[in-house]
Amino acid sequence: MASPDRTPETKHTELHMWREIRRQPEVATLNLGDEGGRLGRAAAWIAEQGPRPLHFAGCGDSRFTGIVGRYAMSRWAGIPAAVHQSFDAQAHLLDEISGGILLAYSNSGESQSTVDCAGAAAALGIPVLAVTGHEGSRLARLADHVLVTTLPEAPVAASHTTSHTAMIASTLGLAARVAAIRSRDTASIDRAIASAPAAMRYTIEMAGPAAQELAARHRSRDRWVLLGAGPHHATALTGAAKLYETGYVPAICEQLDEYAHEQMFILEPGDPVLVVTSRGASHRKAVQIADGVSDLEGDPVIVSELAPSDLGGHRVLPVAPLAEPVEEVAALTHLMPLQLYALHLALARGQDPDRVRYFAVNMRLIGQGKTTQDADL
């Protein structure tokens, strides 16, 4: 049933979500840069703690950002890193975290499980870095150091878009600076980061028509699958979250290779399977999985900057290439086609992508603060 606020004829350009998608290159530029030295200070603070492993903790999109950060810190800076769901970290893993540094992520700084995790870590003397968009939040007040993300304006959408991009960009910028402090070669990383905002702008333009066409193709399906390996798994998870939040559709999200061992057994003919990859470690595996999905009469779509000829001839949701194929930085570019797809799918199914169902109960359960869902969009 169509939302009372939206109809199938609603233009996507009228939507708050569309405006948020369009602003992401600007947000990435703000948060990849180091105006005021915020990234440099946070990197120096991490270095001052000595050779400790890093533990990323968060919930939802914040945890997905931590996955990207885990790979960036490990592969760029050579620091052992892990990522945890905040409640699980507090309830089960504080002994493991005690020898390291906790990087606690919450855009609002009020997500109850993350605040509790940071508080429990601080009580044990574990150094805590808070990554948040709100310097005066409870999370920030608990932390030893705060990395504040930047948005062009204050409101935060209920279905996070620009705020999530701000966190990813800040995390990538932080990891690059930590790597530089540790005398790692960051030349290709720096080139990829510098090219990201322009690639994001181009991706929005080139992926829009394909995302709208795919949404129309898939509007009557009953189940979706999203897959990715390494940093691309975080992108797949965030894409699935967009489908839950905006179109209210069931989506399975799994690590790329693991899918062939488990969930592939419940694939039905015509099921959309969106595989996120780029030129790098997972490219060939992504094609193999898409081939298998095609053999089983599923509908594989590969989200990538690579051409169909490099992707087994499968249907592609296109992404603009970075100056260097750095998979962690591709978290900024590869997510936007999935956001566009989720937006168009919601409209095709008569849903309002600017509203999240069960909002009051959701906010009560996670302890989240006010968002633009409370405002007049």
Q: Read off the pLDDT of residues 86-111 as tens digits, 9 standing for 90 and up.
A: 999 999 999 999 999 999 999 999 99
DSSP letter for each residue of 9-37: T--GGGSHHHHHHHHHHHHHHHHHS-GGG
335 and 278 share a domain?
A: yes
Domain coverage including residue 316: 197-356
CA atoms of 377 and 14, how far apart (whole Å): 10
State what percent of residues in the chain have pLDDT above 90.
Answer: 84
* 265 and 167 in a common domain: no
Q: Which of 134, 166, 192 is the last residue of a domain?
A: 192
With beta carbons less than 8 A apart as the criterion, state whether 172 and 72 touch. Answer: yes
With cut-offs at 50, 70 and 90, classify the pLDDT of residue 376.
Answer: very low
Give 317's strand partners.
303
* pTM beyond cutoff 0.85: yes
Q: Are residues 308 and 331 in the same domain?
A: yes
Q: Is residue 367 part of a domain?
A: no
Residue 372 has what pLDDT?
A: 39
Query: How many whole angstroms separate alpha carbon 165 and alpha carbon 147?
Result: 15
**DSSP at 221:** -
Whether residue 47 has pLDDT greater than 80: yes
Residue 375: inside a domain, yes or no? no
Same domain? For 174 and 227 the reply is no
One-letter amino acid for residue 1 of the chain? M
SS3 134: coil
What pLDDT does 174 receive? 98
Q: Do 333 and 188 fall within a single domain?
A: no
Is residue 206 domain-shared with residue 306, that is, in the same domain? Answer: yes
Q: What is the CATH number of the domain that holds 302?
A: 3.40.50.10490
Say which amino acid occupies 177: R
368 in a structural domain: no
Residue 155 has pLDDT above 90, yes or no: no
Residue 363 has pLDDT above 60, yes or no: no
Q: In sequence order, what E strands does 59-142 have?
A: 81-85, 101-105, 128-132
* Mean confidence (pLDDT) of the chain: 91
> Are both 166 and 273 inside the same structural domain?
no
The pLDDT, as a whole number, for residue 375 is: 34
Which residue is listed with tokens 């105006």? 35
Mean pLDDT of 256-271: 96
Q: How many domains does the chain have?
A: 2
Band of pLDDT at residue 24, cut at 50, 70 and 90: very high
Q: For residue 312, is it within any domain?
A: yes
Selection from 357, 347, 359 nearest residue 6 by Cα: 347
Does residue 117 sit in the same domain as residue 149? yes
For residues 137 and 172, membership in a common domain is answered with yes
* Same domain (yes/no): 28, 169: yes
Are residues 288 and 254 both part of a single domain? yes
Q: Which of 175, 192, 209 is the last residue of a domain?
A: 192
Residues 139, 170: one domain?
Answer: yes
| Cβ–Cβ < 8 Å for 273, 260 | no
Q: Examine residue 77 and state whether it is found in any structural domain, yes or no.
A: yes
Please calculate the CA angle 210-214-216 and round it to the nearest 5 degrees: 120
Is 165 within a domain?
Answer: yes
CA–CA distance, 29 with 173 (Å, rounded to integer): 10
pLDDT of residue 207: 97
Q: How confident is the model at residue 35 (pLDDT cuts 50, 70, 90)?
A: confident
Domain boundary among 158, 192, 226: 192
Looking at per-residue pLDDT, the higher value among 13 and 85 belongs to: 85
8 Å CB contact between 337 and 83: no
Mean pLDDT of 115-144: 97
pLDDT band at 10 (very low <50, low <70, confident <90, very high): low
What number is the average pLDDT over the span 308-321? 96
Q: Could you report the per-residue pLDDT of 57-75, keeping only the tens digit for each?
A: 999 999 999 999 999 999 9
β-bridge mates for residue 105, sequence order:
131
Reduce the DSSP state of residue 370 to 3 states and report it: coil
Q: Read off the pLDDT band of 366 (50, 70, 90).
A: low
- List C-alpha distances in Å: 318 to 149, 155, 180, 247, 338: 28, 30, 32, 21, 10
Q: Of all helices (H) and strands (E), which one includes residue 341?
A: helix 330-348
- Span 146-175, average pLDDT: 84
